[in-house]
Amino acid sequence: MACNPENRSAFVVGFVTGINAVLVVPLGNSSFRFYGGPAADLRLVSLAIGLNHPRDFTGNIDFDAQLQTDAIREYFWEKGRWFMPVTGFGFDFPLNEKFLIGFDVRTWFPVYKLWTHDDVPAIDGWRFGAGFRITILN
């Protein structure tokens, strides 16, 4: 979540990666791809830069940046919140004799919501992506 500098405690950097099985269906000169598999939402959580005032480290979770950062890190890594299976599809079209051009649409599912029962909006945790690709033919 973006926030104003006076309301920050943690800096979070995320990286989503996974392994996919791919099914390619030829359609004349074009092809359709369907894929899916397990993925992980890996997050590095550190104390926000520039926190050094005594009021930033009070020992009270409501105001202490280090305690809040630790709580954020624990939240992201507990109860399998990092597990995000992905599925998607795409099409490839011939650009010329040596290249294909294509696009993909992907969805990462927050399956952890099935067992965590967090009191958050239904859309929270979902990831959606779209991309273009160029394939070099042999």
Higher pLDDT: 105 or 138? It is 105
Query: Does the structure show a pLDDT above 60 at 83?
Result: yes
Domain ranges of the chain: 5-136
Average pLDDT, the chain: 88
H or E element at residue 37: strand 30-37
Sign of the alpha-carbon dihedral angle for 9, 83, 85, 21: positive
d(CA 18, CA 3): 29
pLDDT at 54 over 70: no
The answer to whether 46 and 69 have CB atoms below 8 angstroms apart is yes
Task: Note whether 67 and 47 are within 8 A (CB).
Answer: no
Per-residue pLDDT averaged across 99-123, rounded?
A: 91
Q: How many CA within 13 A on the CB side of residue 12?
A: 20
- Amino acid 65: pLDDT: 82
Sheet of 99-108, strands arranged across: 21-27, 30-37, 86-94, 99-108, 127-136
pLDDT at 96: 92
Higher pLDDT, 33 or 4: 33
CB 16 within 8 A of CB 44: no
